[in-house]
Amino acid sequence: MTQHTPAGYFRDWTITELADQLRSGETSAVELARAALRAIDQFDAELNAFTAVDRGAAVRAAEKADAELAEGLDRGPLHGIPVAVKDLVEVAGSRTEMGSAHFADHVSTSDADCVRRLRAGGAVLVGRTTTHEFAFGPTGDSAHRGPARNPHDTTRITGGSSAGSGAAVAAGMVPLALGTDTGGSVRVPAALCGVVGFKPAFGAISTDGVFPLAQSLDHVGVLARTPQDCRTGYRVLAGLRSTPSQERGQAASIGWLDPNALHPTDPAITRAARAALDVDGLAVREVGIRDPDLVHRGFQGIQHSEAYANHAERVSEHPELFTDDVLERLRQAARTAGWQHVRALAARDQWRREVQELLSEVDLLAMPTTCVVATELGRRETTVDGVEVDVRAALIGLTKPWNLAGVPAVSVPAGRVGGLPVGLQLVGRPGREDVLLAVAARTGG
Amino acid sequence: MTQHTPAGYFRDWTITELADQLRSGETSAVELARAALRAIDQFDAELNAFTAVDRGAAVRAAEKADAELAEGLDRGPLHGIPVAVKDLVEVAGSRTEMGSAHFADHVSTSDADCVRRLRAGGAVLVGRTTTHEFAFGPTGDSAHRGPARNPHDTTRITGGSSAGSGAAVAAGMVPLALGTDTGGSVRVPAALCGVVGFKPAFGAISTDGVFPLAQSLDHVGVLARTPQDCRTGYRVLAGLRSTPSQERGQAASIGWLDPNALHPTDPAITRAARAALDVDGLAVREVGIRDPDLVHRGFQGIQHSEAYANHAERVSEHPELFTDDVLERLRQAARTAGWQHVRALAARDQWRREVQELLSEVDLLAMPTTCVVATELGRRETTVDGVEVDVRAALIGLTKPWNLAGVPAVSVPAGRVGGLPVGLQLVGRPGREDVLLAVAARTGG
C-alpha cells in the first residue's frame, strides 16, 4: 500500500484553467506534454496505468499545437491538452493491444472516429491506458501487460475496464482520458479512483474504431477531475460546439433509487452517496424500480451473445492467448441460447420504457456508483454487509442498468469509505447531458 | 387422388364482380355466405381446409351486411364478401387452436387487429382454416385436426403453413382467405394450390392478435383468385383507402433471379415461371445475388431463436401436446446460440442492404415461388433433378429471402408441372405494393 497517493502535475489544474494558461502564455502545450510524460515516468512503474507511451508523437503534437496557437489557429478547449486513450481504441501509429496477447504489438493504421475528433480539437495524445482484456471485466486486473493499480492503494484494483484511464487521471498524469463503457467501464474506475467518469447517451459518441465488447451496449466516455472537464471532452468527442454551459441545474428534481433494489450495497457507500446530494437547492425524493429483474435478464443475455459473437473464432482457434479470466467468461457467454437472447432484447425494450417513465417524473436519478470499494487485485468474491457477493456483479450492479437503457450517466466522487474513494452516480435524459453534468458539478462528497 | 378439382361457387367470380352483383341486387351477402357454407359442406370432408365453421355467425354477419347495404351504408369492396381466417389469428367468439392440441377448443375473446379491419370493412367471416401447428412448417400437413389436402390431388400437401387458406380459395369455398407468412406461408400454399398469395411489406398489416412464429419475420397476407382481389383485401387490412388502382405496371423493369443461386429448383418449374413473364411490354433482364449465404445464415438463426422463445415453456412443460414434427423442429431451434443469433441479425441487415440495391436497379424481382411441386402428405424428402433435398427447404428456399428483407412479394399461378400447379413469384419495393400487384395481374401461366 502506498502511503501517499501519487500526485502528478494535473492533480492541481482543471482543463479550463490549463486552457487559460495556454492562451495567456503562462504555459505551453510542450510544457504540458512534458509534465504528463514526467508524471508517467515518476508513477507508472507502480500504477501500470499506461500500456504504451507515445513520447515522440506527443511532443511533436504539442509543438504543432503551440505553433498553431501562436499563429492564431485556436482549435478550442482541448487545444494543447494532454489526453490518454484506452488501449481498446485505434490510434494511428500507436500500439493498440486491446489488453490482449491476441493483439500483442499490434500498431493501429488508422484513427478511431473519436480519436480523429480529439486530434481535430488540438488534443495532444500522450499514450495508451490499460484495459481489462478486450474490456470484458470491471476489475481491470486481467490484462496482457498486467493489472492497473489503484493510486489510493496499489494492492487494490482501479476498477475497469477503463482501468488505466482511471489511475492516470487520479494520479494527475493527464487531465483527461478516454474510456469505453459497456456495463460501467468508465464510471466504475472513476468511482474507485476518486475521479469523475461520464458516458453520454448511446450513440452520442461514435464507436467506430473502438474494439467492440457488446455493440448495443458499448459507449465511449471520458474520465477527468471535474464534471466541467468531462463536459469539455464530451462535446469535442460528440462533435458539438464548444460553448460555455448555460445550464446550472438549479431546479433539477432528483429521484433517489435504493441501490439494494438492484444489488446488495455497502451501507456506508449508500450513506456517502446520499450525503453528497445534500446540497442547497437540490430537490431529492425516493423513487422505486418496478421490475429490476429486467436489468439482469436483459443485460447478461445481450452482453454474452454479442461478446461471444465478437470472439468465437479466437476462442476456438487460439484459446491459449486469452487470460484465464476472460476465457472463462467467454466460454460462459457462449452458453446463452438464441431464444434467451431474443428474450433479453425484449426485456431491454421493456426496461427502456420503464426508465423513460422514471425520467419523465424526475430530471435525474441518483444512487451510488458501485456496491463495494476497490477490492484486492485478483479477488473475485467479497462481502457486502456479511453476505458473500461476486466482485464483478457488485461493481456493475448499479451501472449496467443505464447501458441497457442507453441513457447518460456520470460518477462523481462522494468521499471515502474505509479510506477508499466511492462514487455518487447520476443518470439523466438523452440529449440533456448538460443538465446532468451541471447538477454533478454541484454535488460534493 | 381426386379426378376433378372441387369447384365451389367462388371459382367463377372475382371479388370485384361479386361486389357489383351485391350492389345491383343480383345476389346478397346471405346468398354468398350460404354458397360458401354449401361449398364447405360439399368439399371439406375431403380437403380439411377448415378447422371450424362459424355458420350462425356467418349468416348473422351476412344479414347485417345486407341490411346495411339496403340502408345505404356501404363499407367498401369487402362488404358482404365471405372470408376465411387462418386458425392462427384471434377471432372473437370463434374456436382458435393455432393448429395445436395446446389450444384445443380455445375460443378467442377478442379480435386480432386485422380481423377488426375485416369486420369494419363489412366482410363476412365464415370459418377458420387449417394451419401447420403454430405455423411452424411449410407443408401444412402437421396439425391438431389433421392435414389440409391439395384440391388438385388430395394425396398431396397444400403447402403451408396457411394450408387451409390455400385449399379453400383453390376449391372456390371462399373468394378471399387470410394467411400469415414467416418464410413463405402465404405464397407457398398459393403456388401449390394454383391461386394468388400476397404478403405486403413487413409491418404493413398489424400482427397484433396473430399468434407469433418469429416476430421479426411474421407478416399477415391474403390468398385470392386474382392479384386484384389480393389488392382489395390488402388495402382493407392495411387501413388504406379503397381506390381503383391507377397503376398498370406498364413500364416496370423486372430482374430475373436464377433460383438455383438460392436453392436447387426443378427446371420445369423454372421454365414455367419464366414463361409466365413473357408478356408484351415487360422488360426482363437477368440479375444476380452477391451473397445468397446471407439468407440462410440470417433466416434460420432468427426464426429458430424467436420461435423457441415463443414456445420454451410449452416444450418443457407439455412436450406431449406437440405433433412430433413441430416438437422436433423446436428442439432443433433451441440449439441456436445467442451469439449465432447476433450474427444472424447482422447477416439480415446486410441482406437488406443487398436487396435494397437490387431493387434500386429494377422495379421488381422475379423467380419461381417454390423449387418443387406439391409433395405427398407427410413426406420430408424429395428429389430435384435427381438430387435429394429436404422438402421444407425446397418449399421456402425462394420465399424466405423476402421475409428476411421485409419486402412485398406475391405468387401468381404459372401453369402446371406434372399436372400440379406452380407459381411465379414477384418481389417489389416496400410501399409500392400497387406496382407489384399490377405487374402480377399482367403475367400469365
**For B328-344, what is each residue's pLDDT tens digit?**
999 999 999 999 999 99
Q: Cβ B342–A337 below 8 Å, yes or no? A: no
Using CA atoms, how far apart are residues A314 and B39, in angstroms rounded to an integer?
A: 62
**Contact (CB<8Å) A338/B301:** yes
The helix or strand, by DSSP H or E, that contains position B321, with its residue range, turns out to be none
Cβ-based neighbour number of residue A407 at 10 Å: 26
B339, A306: Cβ pair inside 8 Å?
yes
B309 touches chain A (CB under 8 A): yes
> Closest by alpha carbon to A359, among A221, A249, A253, A223?
A253
The per-residue pLDDT of chain A, averaged, comes to: 96
Is B342 near chain A, with CB under 8 Å?
yes
pLDDT at A281: 81
Q: Give domain limits for chain A.
A: 13-237, 253-294+337-442
Query: Which distant-in-sequence residues (6+ apart) come within 8 Å of B67 by Cβ?
Result: none
Nearest residue to B149 (alpha-carbon basis) of B33, B35, B37, B5: B5
Residue B1: per-residue pLDDT: 43
**Within an 8 Å CB–CB cutoff, is residue A303 touching chain B?**
no
Within 10 Å of residue A146's Cβ, how many Cβ atoms? 13
Outline where DSSP puts E strands in A133-209.
176-181, 196-199
Residues of chain B below pLDDT 70: 1-3, 445
- Residue B445 has what pLDDT? 55
CATH fold group of domain B9-237: Amidase signature (AS) enzymes (3.90.1300)
Closest residue to A342, CB basis, from B305, B335, B346 = B305
Beta-carbon contacts below 8 Å between A and B: 71
Using an 8 Å Cβ cutoff, are A133 and A127 in contact? Answer: no
Average pLDDT over residues A121-149: 97
A308 vs B: CB within 8 A: yes
Residue A423 has pLDDT above 70, yes or no: yes
Q: Which amino acid is at B335?
A: R
| Chain B residues with beta carbon closer than 8 angstroms to that of A309 | 339-340, 342-343, 346
Q: Can you tell me which residue has the cell 441460447?
A: A337
Q: Quick: pLDDT tens for A102-124.
A: 999 999 999 999 999 999 999 99
Tell me the average pLDDT across A220-229.
98
**Which top CATH class is A253-294+337-442?**
alpha beta
What single string gives the DSSP state of each residue in B210-269?
A: BPPSSTTT-EEEEEESSHHHHHHHHHHHTT----------TT-EEEEE-GGGTS---HHH
The verdict on B207 touching A (C-beta cutoff 8 Å) is no
pLDDT of residue A124: 98
Measured at the CA of B36, the angle between CA B31 and CA B41, to 5 degrees, comes to: 120
Rounded-to-integer distance, Cα A259 and Cα B140, Å: 52
Q: Annotated catalytic, A400?
A: no
pLDDT in tens, A4-37: 788 899 999 999 999 999 999 999 999 999 999 9
User: Is the per-residue pLDDT at A445 higher than 60?
Assistant: no
Instruction: Answer whether B342 sits within 8 Å of A341, measured CB to CB.
Output: yes
Nearest CA in chain A to B338: A338
* CATH assignment of A13-237, among 3.30.1540.10, 3.90.1300.10, 3.40.50.2300, 2.30.31.20: 3.90.1300.10
Q: Does A73 touch chain B (CB under 8 A)?
A: no
> Over 60: is that where the pLDDT of A1 sits?
no
Q: Which residues of B are catalytic?
A: 86, 161, 185
Handedness of CA B274, B201, B83, B164 (dihedral sign): positive
Partner residue opposite B308 with nearest CB, options A335, A336, A339:
A339
- A307, A336, A344 ranked by CB distance to B337: nearest: A336
CB-based burial, B235-270: b 16+ in 10 Å, e otherwise = bbbbeeeeeebebebeebebbbbebbebbbbbebbb
Given this model, what pLDDT does residue B249 score?
77
Q: Which of A337, A343, A346 sits opposite B337 (nearest CB)?
A: A337
C-alpha count within 13 angstroms, C-beta hemisphere, residue B445: 30
Q: What is the ipTM of this complex?
A: 0.92
**A342 at the B interface (CB within 8 A)?**
yes
Q: Do B306 and A342 touch (CB under 8 A)?
A: yes
| Residue keyed to cell 392478435 | B209
Mean pLDDT of A428-444: 94
- Distant-in-sequence, close-in-space partners of B413: CB < 8 Å, separation ≥ 6: B191, B194, B195, B196, B276, B421, B422, B423, B424, B445
Residue B125 pairs with which residues in a beta bridge? B83
In chain B, residues with a C-beta closer than 8 Å to the C-beta of A333 are 338-339
> To the nearest whole percent, how much of chain A has pLDDT over 70?
99
Query: What's the confidence (pLDDT) of residue B243?
Result: 80
Q: Do domains B9-237 and B253-294+337-442 have the same CATH topology?
A: yes
